[in-house]
Amino acid sequence: MTTLGKIFGPGTRHAVPLIVFLLIGFAAPLLAVIGFSFIPARTFELWQSWSLDNYIEIFNSTSYLSFLWSLGLAAITVLILAIICYPIAYGLARVFGKYSTLVTLLFTIPLFVSENVRLYGWVLFFIKNGVLLGTLKAWFGIEPDSWLFTSGIIVFGMVYVYLPFMLFPMTLGVSMVPDQTRDAAFDLGATRWQVFKEVELPLSMPGIMIGFLLSFVLAVGAIAEAKVLGGQQIIPISHDIEIAFTYAQNWPLGAALAVLLMLVVGTLVLFVLRRFDLDAILGRR
């Protein structure tokens, strides 16, 4: 312990358990996936001749459609979330005062119920003879078509599930705007819109960007929304990966798809995170 203490400072020493754990539990599995993506299709043994066949198969298949669906749906979800969440984030940071802890808590609780259970609640709401259509039928005698099993409902489900992941980073961002700067802009004659565009938005950008990144990345990997609400009308990329691993029993192909998804997500995360000082975002409390 003492020799270790001489070589490493206290910061490094405290980081060791976590780093070691992430090496075994995060880096190694990802390397395993990369390894599996190069072995022949439908085999399960890692140490054999490696080739690029799985990737070639993907580029000759229709998997790119799943990729496009996932990216497109995630992008729409993030944009809708930004509009829904900004007023609430603003409220949490500046309006609600002593109630903001309670409001935060209200948005936190659903996070702890597994997402397919909550999505199932929406199925009961939208299904034929369910809460919405049953009420319409009983009270007004109208019977519109169920909204379930469309691409719209998948976006709806994703907006619902990932809302807190946009809201919380955004709130941290909005609370980083100092009152003095805002007041100064008003004193200098700026309009409400100018203050928003020139002061509040740029200064809260770090938090907003992290919210965008987090909800986008999670939405790209989303699978439950399309399965539970979408009735498998649309197959997102994670579903393709799951099919390769389960029904098709083709682990190498699934691994190759996962590697491509990891490349998209990883590039995006590294690109955005590199630009921010996390101390400034998290420490400002």
User: Hey, which residues between 113 and 172 contact another protein (CB under 8 A)?
Assistant: 113-122, 124-125, 127, 129-131, 133-135, 138, 160, 163
* CA atoms of 275 and 177, how far apart (whole Å): 18
Helix intervals (H) in 110-234: 115-126, 131-140, 151-174, 179-187, 192-195, 201-203, 205-220, 224
Nearest to 169 by CA among 211, 216, 217, 218: 211
Contacts (CB under 8 A) with another protein, residues 50-109 = 84, 87-88, 90-91, 95-96, 101, 103, 105-109
Q: Which stretch binds another protein (CB under 8 A): 7-15, 59-67, 145-153, 181-189?
A: 7-15
Buried b (16+ CB within 10 A) or exposed e, 49-67: eeeebbbeebeeeebeebb
Q: Does 9 bind another protein (CB under 8 A)?
A: yes
Minimum gap (Å) between residue 75 Cβ and another protein: 15
Query: Contact at 8 Å (CB) between 268 and 213?
Result: yes
Minimum gap (Å) between residue 51 Cβ and another protein: 18
Contacts (CB under 8 A) with another protein, residues 12-41 = 12-19, 21-22, 25-26, 28-30, 32-33, 35-36
Q: Is 111 helix (H, G, I), strand (E, B) or coil?
A: helix
Q: Does 258 bind another protein (CB under 8 A)?
A: yes
Contacts (CB under 8 A) with another protein, residues 191-230 = 191-193, 196, 213-214, 217-218, 220-224, 227-228
Nearer to another protein, 75 or 282 (CB): 282
Q: Which residues contact 209 (CB under 8 A, 6 or more apart)?
A: 173, 272, 275, 276
Name which position in 80, 243, 248, 262 contacts another protein (CB under 8 A).
262
